[in-house]
Amino acid sequence: MAKKQPAPQTGPRLVFVGSSLKKALQFCGGAMTPNPLVPVAENVRIVAQNGQATLTGTDMRMTNSVTIDCELMGTSAESLTALLPYALLNSLMSSLTNDPVIVSIDETSYGHTISAKTGTYKMTGENPIDFPRGVKPGSEEPLRLTLSGTERAAFMTGLARTVFAVGTDDLRPAMTGVSLRVTPGVIRLCATDGHRLALTRLPVELATELEIILPAKFTRALLKQLADTGEALPLELAISGNSLSATIQHYRMETLLIDERFPDVENAIPVNQPIEVRFQKEEVADALKRVLLFANRTTWQIRLAISEGTLTISAEDLDYSHEGTEIVDCQLTGDPITIGFNGKLFADCLAHTEGDTVRLKLTSYNRAGLLYGASEHSFALVMPCLLNSIA
C-alpha cells in the first residue's frame, strides 16, 4: 500500500540539514536547565535571516548560541523568529536520521510542525517576545583575550585539571567556580572545595592582568566545546563587567561571573617539603579502588604507610570489621611517614594528575600533600585526615 502523501506545506518554513540541527540543539542545551525559574526558558529560540539561523538556549545566568545554515521559505519577510520546546525537539531530532528537516512556523498560534522523512510532528512553542534576554554584558569596553594553537590546548588542559576540585556549597559561592588569574606571561587556574585544591600555571604571551571566577557549569560546557571543535580554531574570550563570553568560530557562550573574592590559596600551599614519594599512577589507582571497598562509608579514610621501597595502602570499617590492605612499589626520598587521607578525594586528585609516574610531596602527617605529575606547573593538594593511632 502506497504511503499517503502529506499535504503541501504553506506559510513560513525553515529547511535544515538534520545533522547540523542536531549538533546545534545539543550545544544550546548545555546552557539550559530543566524546570527553569522562567518557564519560557524551556524553549530554544530560532532567529533566521540571510540564509542562516541562530539558535539560542539560556538559563538566565548562562547563554549558548550557534549559527548554522538554513533556507527560509514561504514568506516575504527577511527574518523569522520562533520558540520551540527544547526537550521535545531535541529528543525528536536525536531519533531522526541526518536527512533534511523542515520546520513550519505558525506565528499566530505558535503550533509549529516538524516534517522529516519519517513523518510530521506538531509541537507548541511560545511567543518569541517573551524569551529572556539572558546574560547582559557590561557597558564598558570588554577586555579581550585570544588563545590559539598551543596556548588554546594548554588552557583546555588546565581547565580539565582544575574544575574537578570546585566546591558545591552555595554558602561559599567563591569556591563553586574556577579562579582565572592572568598576570603578564602567566595564566593561573585554580579550584578548591576546602578539602582539596587543584592549581595549574600556564605560560602565555599576554601582557593583560585580570582575576575572575568562572562558574563550574560554564567551565565544563566550555571544556566540552573545546574538545568538540578543531584545535586550529582560536578561542576568543571577552570580559565585560560581571560577564564573560567565549567564542569559537560560530559557537558563542556567555555567562555571568561569580562576583566574589577567591580565597588566598597561595598561603595554604606547603613549601620546602622534605619527603617525596614516587609511584606508578595506575598501580596505586587500582589499589585504591579495591581498598576503598573496605573503607568507612562516612569518612572514606585510608592510611598510607610509606617506607623505603614500599607504599602500604589500607582502610578499615570498624562498624562491620572490614579491612583491606595492599602494598605497591615506590621510591622514597626523605624519612618514612604514615599519613591519612580521604580516599575518595585522594583517588579523584590522582585521576586528574598528568603522566604515568606521580610524585607525592609531604611535610608531616598533619600537613597537606601535593600530587605532581609530569609538569611542575600543575599539582593537586589534598588535606590529610588525622589517624586514630596518631591522635
Has residue 258 got a pLDDT over 50?
yes
Read off the pLDDT of each residue in 374-381 and give the average, rounded to a whole number.
94
DSSP 8-class letter at 315: E
Is beta strand 62-69 parallel, antiparallel or unpaired with respect to 322-329?
unpaired
The answer to whether 66 and 246 are in contact (CB under 8 A) is: no
Q: How far apart are CA 371 and CA 265, in angstroms?
A: 16
Other CB atoms within 10 A of residue 221 CB: 20
Same fold, 13-130 and 269-385: yes
Q: Which pLDDT score, from 0 to 100, does residue 267 have?
A: 87
Q: How far apart are CA 281 and CA 297, in angstroms?
A: 24
Q: How far apart are CA 271 and CA 368, in angstroms?
A: 10
The answer to whether 115 and 102 are in contact (CB under 8 A) is: yes
Has residue 211 got a pLDDT over 70?
yes
pLDDT band for position 1 (cuts 50, 70, 90): very low
The fourth-level CATH superfamily of domain 13-130 is DNA Polymerase III, subunit A, domain 2 (3.10.150.10)
Q: Supply the DSSP string of 158-169, one letter for each residue.
A: HHHHHGGG----
Q: Where are the alpha helices (DSSP H) in 173-269?
A: 216-228
- Give Cα 162 distance to the centre of its chain: 10
How far apart, in Å, are the Cα atoms of 116 and each of 82, 92, 224? 19, 10, 29
Q: How far apart are CA 183 and CA 211, in angstroms?
A: 9
**Domain spans of the chain, in order of start:** 13-130, 143-265, 269-385
Q: Which pLDDT score, from 0 to 100, does residue 388 have?
A: 76
- What digits encode the pLDDT tens for the residues 281-307? 999 999 999 999 999 999 999 999 999
Give the neighbor-by-neighbor strand order of the sheet with 120-124.
71-73, 13-16, 101-104, 111-115, 120-124
Q: How far apart are CA 280 and CA 356, in angstroms?
A: 6
The x, y and z cell numbers of residue 310, run together, are 614500599
How would you classify residue 226: left for phi > 0, otherwise alpha for psi between -120 and 50, otherwise beta?
alpha
Q: How far apart are CA 128 and CA 376, in angstroms?
A: 52
In the numeric block, the cell 518569541 is attached to: 128
pLDDT band for position 232 (cuts 50, 70, 90): confident
Q: How far apart are CA 137 and CA 159, in angstroms?
A: 23
Q: How far apart are CA 324 and CA 284, in angstroms?
A: 14
CA dihedral for 148, 149, 151, 156, sign (positive or negative): positive
The x, y and z cell numbers of residue 168, run together, are 558545591
Q: Provide the residue type at 281 as one letter.
A: K
Q: How far apart are CA 187 and CA 86, in angstroms?
A: 37
Q: How far apart are CA 293 and CA 265, in angstroms?
A: 32
CATH for 269-385 (3.40.50.300, 3.10.150.10, 3.30.930.10, 3.10.180.10): 3.10.150.10
In the numeric block, the cell 504511503 is attached to: 3
Q: Which pLDDT score, from 0 to 100, does residue 268 have?
A: 86
Query: Per CATH, is 143-265 categorized as 3.10.150.10?
Result: yes
Helix 149-162 × helix 216-228 angle, to 10°: 140
pLDDT band for position 204 (cuts 50, 70, 90): confident
- What digits encode the pLDDT tens for the residues 137-189? 766 788 999 999 999 999 999 999 999 999 999 999 999 999 999 999 899 99
Q: Which pLDDT score, from 0 to 100, does residue 391 have?
A: 43
Q: Provide the residue type at 344 as one letter.
A: K
- What digits encode the pLDDT tens for the residues 39-74? 999 999 999 999 999 999 999 999 999 999 999 998
